[in-house]
Chains A and B, each alone.
Chain A
């Protein structure tokens, strides 16, 4: 009896995930994520508010945001229309050149979770980095708000408006 129920739940899950996957794939509409280099050029051409998402590849809340929040049409619309959106891996070892300075990850090889200088500069709270960290800046690249937690689309939209 339990065995049958078990098999049934198995089928149920498989069908469920099969139904979920194509839905996301159909959404052609995406956020136009920029790198810091692209951001600099864009800001030079046309000032706009900036949204930065600091994530790491092991952060489950970040993945959750990628999958369910940043795929919402309203969120995509607001971020694409009113913001330059930047997505940045806080543990990346690539150098970033921004406003004439080169930022590196000086903790690579020294720490098991090496935080890039850009993230150290913008995304620390009391010296700690806990992804996801979401930073909103105005047209003059001045920080107006920072959020140190997972945000669902409702909270994020309120923060962006």
Chain B
């Protein structure tokens, strides 16, 4: 045997070292030691002096010796695959032999995923100064989330609620603040407009989503002035392989209403990975659901079709152009007698959305990778045909006339364009500067009610941020944005005609600090300022019904901007012990709102019976609380996660929600001293268990604590404040995967959502009900079965 020629592991190591560039130095100092992790020694770990070519690999028993080191002070890096690298400073004197041992920690729990949200350029999540939580496709899958809105509940500080029985409008609350305090982004771009954030989260199919990043509180300066509750960034999948997948999901809600979804997606990427395209499509049909048999829907009928594509092209290794298109058609209808034309029913809310979206993004890196320049633009156009109204229980000629005039048309255009530049310094500091212009044009008209919202909002934002890393333990994110908002609005209802012509410029500073107390424990703290220009937001475009009459929201004439200050501080502990991973997060938040926009029922009723609510600058308010999250995973077979929020909200002075108009009656002023529809305690848990590669079981759930929900009890809009009971919504899913061939897989899954049928016990009934009196889990118990085929 010629073993001598190419034998001996030592020889191999030596040869590899020649390639890596290990060079012999003049005999100076020697460093030796052992690398371990827990009780295990770590073999083949690399021990290197940063900025030099001096280093060594450890033996199988973890021992290493580095000879011939010139005297001096060095940064030593110890790293091994699957472990969190550590760096340490050492000083070596001439002729010295130093013995140092190192202990490495395993790296797990998605900690080394790259997240974009915190800073808008790629960096390690663990070193990210802003706490970013990730909802990945695994979680969306485990919770059988058809739309993204269903999966978001499984994050601390996030709560998705349904706001209307007639139209199924949902909103996402972050840190207890309403949806309008959150910024929703797709691939880091703010293309959600006033209209689309109402229904938009139901319209994005979860099968195109790679992950959803949630940043609570103000955090980064880069994401818009209204991101005070937080930012939700939806990142779509980046294709590499040629793939296809078809999925069908059938659910039966409370043994009654069928919810059928069909999904398809595929991608094609060329061999050089320089161009590719991803297609996706979804079709969903959900029957309406009536919980109490009064003939009026609790869940609306839904028909939703989405078709989209995302393509990219790389002209060179340092540049990339990507283009996005999607078309979306959504029909929803709630109320009663869905078989009749809307104006023959008592109550109907019917919405038919047609949305087209297009976007383009260009990125260019400099040769030395120190400069990155990007330009982007996107546009979204929506046409919405609506019907909000009905006979409202009456059958007079007047009722009929009003009912037939309740058809409306909404046109919405959103254009966002921006330029951004990053400079990366050699010491890991980063400067980001940019300009972004957002233009939203919304026109919502229902002639029958003389209702018009015609609003143009243009916001130019300038932002700059410096990420400062003076040493390995400390990072500071110092930034500010200056937004110039111009609102030109015309708001009419009945005889009321309010105009807005507002020009405001507001500076919003943002600061976030991170300090590593030790290798497991990180402290973060931050301050952010935010503001909202006086304008109609999504909830103001929605019309609910009360007492058989439509309820309109109108902006008061002298509405002023609202500002907010958000403080946050957190401790994050992550540790890997052998195969096990542990993480713990405790995050306190304190948010102060000044002049918050508040809907007040003034008791005003139009001649045709419609009820008016006015948006006014309400009382100052404070929301404070604690988000917590604890995770434990003994091995990749089992992952346990539990999280939630304990919070309290208070108005500085009692906030009036209803104020009787004119003659005194037995209806008195209704005021609250805390936020309504806002539980003090809410949370979630997720459990994934894999019996084998093929068979997995997921048990997930959410808890919604007691809260106060207003309920309109008279035609004037007078309110009753209802104390609700807590809800515990638990889902169980089992799935089995068959690898039929290398290029063909089949996955069957089935389960029950809301096993304990924890659902709102009592709804208003009949045509005169308050359609906004809906709270708690989105749907009652439902069983589902899903079939997925694909080549991966």
Contacts and interface: CB of A to CB of B under 8 A. Distances in A.
- Report whether chain A binds chain B: yes
Interface of A: 1-3, 5-6, 9-10, 13, 16-17, 20-21, 43-44, 60-61, 63-64, 67-69, 99-101, 103, 106-107, 109-115, 117, 120-122, 124, 126-129, 140-146, 150, 152-154
A106 B43 CA distance: 8
Contact of A115 (B82, B241, B266, B305): B82
Contacts of B6: 43, 99, 140-141
B283 interface: yes
A117 B13 CA distance: 11
A110 B241 contact: no
B182 to A, nearest CB: 29
16 contacts: A2-B307, A17-B791, A64-B240, A100-B3, A110-B579, A112-B82, A113-B81, A120-B43, A122-B16, A127-B44, A127-B45, A129-B81, A140-B6, A141-B15, A150-B273, A152-B271
B281 A9 contact: yes
B367 interface: no
A64 B579 contact: no
Contact of A112 (B3, B106, B244): B106
B329 interface: yes
B307 A6 contact: yes
Nearest to A63: B241
Given A100-B7, A140-B5, 16 more contacts: A2-B305, A16-B268, A60-B241, A99-B3, A99-B6, A110-B40, A110-B579, A111-B81, A111-B579, A113-B81, A114-B82, A120-B81, A121-B13, A126-B79, A127-B80, A152-B273
The 8 A-B pairs of least Cβ separation, nearest first, read A127-B46, A141-B6, A120-B44, A111-B82, A127-B79, A99-B7, A129-B81, A152-B272
Contact of A60 (B240, B266, B635): B240
A153 B283 CA distance: 39
Contacts of A2: 305, 307, 327-329
A10 B281 CA distance: 8
A61 B240 contact: yes
B37 to A, nearest CB: 7
B270 to A, nearest CB: 9
Nearest to B240: A60
Contacts of A122: 12, 16
B279 interface: yes
A99 B60 contact: no
Contacts of B305: 2-3, 6
A48 to B, nearest CB: 12
A147 to B, nearest CB: 12
A101 B6 CA distance: 12
Contacts of A115: 44, 81-82
B229 to A, nearest CB: 33
B663 interface: no
B319 interface: no
A111 B240 CA distance: 27
Nearest to B85: A127
Nearest to B791: A17
A153 B272 CA distance: 8
Given A63-B241, A112-B106, A129-B81, A121 B266 contact: no
Interface in B273-306: 273, 279, 281, 283, 305
- Which among B3, B80, B85, B268 has the greatest number of chain A C-beta atoms within 10 A? B80
A128 B327 contact: no
Contacts of B18: 143
A121 B281 contact: no
Contacts of A112: 82, 106, 108, 579, 635-636
A3 B262 CA distance: 12
Nearest to A153: B271
Given A6-B307, A67-B241, A150-B273, A121 B44 contact: yes
